Amino acid sequence: MPEIQNPNLQSQGSGGGGGGDMRSTMAFMLLAMAVFFGYQFFFMKPKTDQQPPAQTQSQATAPAAPTASANPAAPGQTPNGAAPAQAPTATPQISASLETYTTVENEFYKIVFSNRGAQVKNWILKKYFDSAGKPLDLVQPQAAARFGLPLSLFTYEPALTTELNGALYKVSYGGAQPSATGLLLAPTAITFEYSANGVDAVKTFRFDSSYVIGVESKVTRNGVPLRTLVEWPAGLGDMEELHQTSMLRGQMPTPSFFAWSIENRDDVQAAAKVSGNNTLQGSYQYAAVMDLYFAAAFLPDAPDRTTVVTLHNSIDLPADPSDPNSKKASVDVLGLAVGDTSGDTRLRLFTGPKATEILSSIYATGPDGKPDGPSLHPLIQFGSWLGYIAKPLYLALRFIHNSIGAGAYSWGWAIILFTAVFNIAFIPLRFMMMKSSLKMMRIQPKVDAIKKRYANLKMNDPKKTEMNTEIMALYKEENVNMYGSCLPMLPQLPLFYGFFRVLYNAVELRQAHWFWLPDLSQPDPIHILPILIIISMFLTQYITPSPGMDPMQRRMMAFILPIFMGSFLWHYASGLALYWATGNVLNLALQVFINQSSYGKEMHAIAARRAAKKAGVNPKTIQGKR
């Protein structure tokens, strides 16, 4: 872990028939492989025991420095290098005698402050709930107990940090006084003051009717400003895996990220790649710590003077929640500290859900000092290039949801209707694939005859080129596109992944229920959908004619792929499983319809003829229309 350089002590450094079907098979396998690698990319956490790579964005990282105790005192400095030696200024001591609590409330949140450290004990989102049905508290108690509370202060001197975050501050209010229970209604402001032994600290928080609060913090020693940062030290959001009594404990850990914007360029980094205690210098328009659905984003008033410290800790939990002695698994706990290099920190802090209409209305500070910089919308991680596909799909899903009304099962029905429209739109492509495959089946005997004439040649024989030339000439003569059965599938892949990203990142699906599914962002609790996926995929493969396909490949397509997809979705969001199961049922119904069409009957006849031929029977040749 890199050591932290203290800017208060030292100067900063700078820092087939058979061919057509074979290709169809390969196309399906391509889809399966794509899903598999998508799983690896989107879901699998990198190993946390690897050293995260250095930051590659344009900000300069403060170089590691020796600890104060190992650094000789520079001329004119005290032994610890903190400041020029001088007698403490005789300032009156300001503190409180008792710990008190003040609650600030508006339509969206209820924030409980303690005057001990002027920190937040609870940050409750009134419109979002945990797995027990209680309003969601973004302050995770287990993590906060170990790593600190929100809006505490971060300094480069451990003793000073401990003092500032443990002192009892005097509280004053910028407006109406709190009720007898300590309740304040926004808009309002709270100021916390502490002074002792030459150290003066003032923290002011301002509240309005939104999710954003104003934060001002300044700490001086003997009148000299100290660089102190305001921090959110220990994760946020669900983090159900840390709750001993959570109904979701034992599921996949909540992923967390560090996100930022510098010079209108936004980026994001997964938790495993975030260095702990890393000081970053840059023109940060915002810096945020977040999970899939919630974020705490700091928006400095002076981006050009911003210091960011990334905090990366972990908590070891039993891999099996029912067995405390089972092998431990590490859960990442990300945090963030943000401050002004002048020592006088002024910023806004958004803490709330990653909902499109909310994030799109919050802007960072621009060059003119006004909130007209980039919005927080990039915090919704639809992906880089996939975002161009995912965002329209998300808007379409929301449009369907809003059209059918916000009923009890509305999001589930919206997914089903969207999937139906999605599949209906691709029916023409499905028929194109079928026609191309049928053309390949009709000329397959001619292709086999050409291959038979060259069967005894070695692979490197030049006459093999003649064989390929003859086959290509046959395709041209018969007006057959050898890739026609695969190409229509290609547009479906980016659309599939776009919708995949939508279902995985839309906060609206969190705790949205549909019949037996209590939360579309969590796995199906009784696994009906994964089982339906396996059965429907098997039946579709079973009734789809595949003349010329190798029996081993057919078994793989009929059994392995459905089992793979079912097991893949066994442990992931039921909203995604609902989408996939709906598509499978529609595809099964469409295949039944195709089988009854003239094209389907001809394909089955060709398949029966080839099966009989392999069995030693010589049936009458079936001629198909061109």
Higher pLDDT, 488 or 471: 471
Considering the domain architecture, whether residues 115 and 228 belong to the same structural domain is answered as yes
Please say whether the beta carbons of 347 and 230 come within 8 A: yes
Residue 478 covered by a domain: yes
Q: What is the pLDDT of residue 456?
A: 79
355 and 454 in a single domain? The answer is no
Instruction: Assess if residue 13 is contained within a domain.
Output: no
Q: Where are the beta strands (DSSP E) in 156-264?
A: 170-173, 183-185, 188-196, 199-207, 212-221, 224-226, 229-232, 257-262
* The predicted structure's pLDDT at residue 35: 52
Predicted pLDDT at 220: 96
pLDDT value for 231: 97
The whole-model pTM stands at: 0.77
pLDDT at 597: 80
Tell me: do 375 and 416 sit in the same domain.
no
Q: Is residue 73 part of a domain?
A: no
Clarify whether residues 520 and 419 are in a common domain.
yes
pLDDT in tens, 225-250: 999 999 999 888 887 766 655 444 44
C-alpha span between 7 and 281 (Å, rounded): 12
CATH of the domain at 118: 2.70.98
| Confidence check: pLDDT of 17 > 70 | no
Q: Would you say residue 81 lies in a domain?
A: no
Decide: 415 and 404 in contact? Cβ < 8 Å: no
Tokens describing residue 410: 């509305």
Report the candidate in 500, 502, 493 with the shortest Cα–Cα distance to residue 395. 502
Residue that wins the pLDDT comparison between 407 and 82? 407
Q: Which of 339, 363, 379 is where one domain is finished?
A: 379
In this prediction, residues 73-85 reach a mean pLDDT of 36
pLDDT over 70 percentage in the chain: 77
Residue 8: the pLDDT is: 42
Sheet holding 229-232, edge to edge: 60-61, 278-282, 306-318, 328-340, 229-232, 152-154
Same domain, 355 and 440: no
Residue 116: is its pLDDT beyond 80? yes
- Based on the fold, state whether residues 343 and 460 are members of the same structural domain: no
Containing structural domain, residue 492: 410-614
- In this predicted structure, the answer to whether residue 613 has a pLDDT above a threshold of 80 is no
User: Are residue 349 and residue 202 in the same domain, yes or no?
Assistant: yes
How many domains in the chain? 2
Where does the pLDDT of residue 290 fall: very low under 50, low under 70, confident under 90, or very high at 90 and above?
very high
pLDDT at 422: 85
Residue 105 domain flag:
yes
pLDDT, average across residues 387-399: 89
Residue 331 clears pLDDT 70, i.e. is over it: yes
Q: Is 401 a member of any domain?
A: no
pLDDT reported for residue 555: 66
Q: What tokens does 102 get?
A: 């003040």
Write the pLDDT tens digit of every residue in 547-561.
555 566 666 677 788
Higher pLDDT, 564 or 535: 535
Residues 431 and 361 in one domain: no
Q: Looking at mean pLDDT, say which of 20-24, 75-79, 616-620 comes out highest.
A: 616-620
Give pLDDT, residue 11. Answer: 36
- What is the model's pLDDT at position 438? 79
Q: Where are the beta strands (DSSP E) in 247-395?
A: 257-262, 265-270, 278-282, 284-290, 294-300, 306-318, 328-340, 344-353
In a domain, 392, yes or no: no
For the segment 93-113, the average pLDDT, to the nearest whole number, is 95
Looking at per-residue pLDDT, the higher value among 498 and 175 belongs to: 498
Are 450 and 363 in the same domain? Answer: no
User: Residue 74's pLDDT is what?
Assistant: 32
Same domain, yes or no, for 179 and 128? yes
In the chain, the percentage of residues whose pLDDT exceeds 90 is 44
pLDDT band for position 52 (50/70/90)?
very low
Q: How far apart are the C-alpha atoms of 189 and 113, rounded to whole Å? A: 12
Q: Given a cut of 70, is residue 504 above it in pLDDT?
A: yes
| Per-residue pLDDT, 439 | 80
Q: Is residue 129 part of a domain?
A: yes
Q: How confident is the model at residue 596 (pLDDT cuts 50, 70, 90)?
A: confident
The CA-atom distances, in angstroms, between 479 and each of 426, 435, 476, 524, 529 are 23, 12, 5, 47, 42
Do 354 and 460 fall within a single domain? no
Q: What is the pLDDT of residue 19?
A: 39
Same domain, 363 and 414: no
Q: What is the pLDDT of residue 481?
A: 78
